């Protein structure tokens, strides 16, 4: 085999796992897929999304994993995604999914989603007289800039109004949602999907404990730490997850991975909190065979 053939063969099996310069060697969970990729003859290279002078065309595939510093530079991130020739998940999905206004489209498609009040940067919001709410930005990740407020308390009403105003003044679209109390007991269910048997197939699920315990006080780092354990999803959760995936623009067949986050609503039926198609944690370490299933999905794309 001549030098050009060797180079071509290498490039056909070379994959970029996209991260950020704060996690240059990937998140610990993502590192679990590396041995499984090597077994399949795939060379995986961690690369920061904004690293200078990267030739993205030299990779057979670029898989977005942990570029969690993009939130403050979403426009730059979306523009970067559009320039990567072989990106998973695709650039148009990244654009759609990094702004939670996609929840409006899913609701129109019949997916049960958390009721949301949207406060535009130039708008105004007055706290309702009572109840618990969550305030967060429409472009965000890792529970950053998010808070939980008990509006029966005068102090929390003032803090919630200040939180909304702070995000608005920063030019950010604000989401105000009812706090779903079931997250404190039942928790949040995250269902993970990878391609399999010609379709996007369920891989595994986890339970997340409550993340928001009070008003937003800021977070050091890229995300809040999560309490995770394995979970077997209910049939109703699987049904809603598949309904949400079916409503993804362009269809779910283009996706290399998907995570669907659900919490029981006041009637105990699950509602969609987020549909994670850009850079979700995949919790590969929580289920036997999950790293191998993800590696197989990546190898199949090559």
| Residues forming the active site | 231, 259, 276
Q: What is the CA radius of gyration of the chain?
A: 20
Of 253, 252, 272, 249, the C-alpha closest to 262 is: 272
Angle, alpha carbons 40-253-231 (nearest 5°): 75
> CA dihedral defined by 224, 228, 232, 235, rounded to 10 degrees?
-20
State the first-to-last Cα distance of the chain, in angstroms, to the nearest integer. 21
Coil, helix or strand for 126?
Answer: coil
């Amino acid at each position: 085999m001549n030098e050009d053939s060797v180079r071509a063969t290498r490039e056909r099996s070379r994959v970029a796992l996209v991260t950020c310069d704060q996690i240059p060697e990937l998140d610990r969970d993502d590192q679990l897929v590396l041995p499984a990729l090597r077994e399949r003859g795939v060379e995986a290279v961690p690369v920061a999304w904004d690293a200078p002078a990267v030739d993205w065309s030299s990779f057979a595939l670029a898989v977005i994993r942990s570029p969690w510093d993009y939130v403050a530079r979403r426009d730059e991130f979306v523009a970067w995604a559009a320039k990567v020739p072989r990106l998973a998940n695709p650039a148009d999905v990244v654009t759609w999914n990094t702004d939670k206004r996609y929840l409006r489209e899913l609701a129109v498609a019949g997916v049960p989603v958390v009721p949301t009040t949207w406060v535009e940067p130039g708008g105004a919001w007055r706290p309702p007289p009572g109840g618990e709410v969550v305030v967060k930005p429409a472009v965000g990740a890792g529970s950053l800039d998010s808070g939980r407020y008990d509006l029966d308390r005068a102090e929390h009403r003032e803090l919630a109004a200040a939180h909304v105003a702070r995000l608005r003044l920063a030019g950010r679209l604000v989401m105000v949602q009812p706090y779903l109390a079931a997250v404190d007991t039942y928790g949040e269910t995250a269902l993970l999907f990878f391609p399999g048997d010609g379709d996007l197939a369920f891989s595994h699920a986890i339970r997340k404990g409550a993340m928001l315990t009070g008003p937003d006080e800021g977070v050091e780092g890229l995300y809040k730490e999560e309490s995770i354990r394995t979970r077997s999803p209910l049939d109703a959760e699987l049904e809603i997850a598949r309904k949400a995936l079916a409503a993804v623009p362009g269809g779910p067949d283009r996706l290399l991975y998907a995570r669907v986050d659900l919490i029981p609503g006041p009637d105990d039926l699950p509602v969609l909190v987020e549909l994670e198609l850009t850079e979700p944690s995949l919790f590969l370490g929580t289920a036997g065979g999950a790293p191998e299933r993800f590696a197989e999905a990546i190898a199949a794309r090559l």
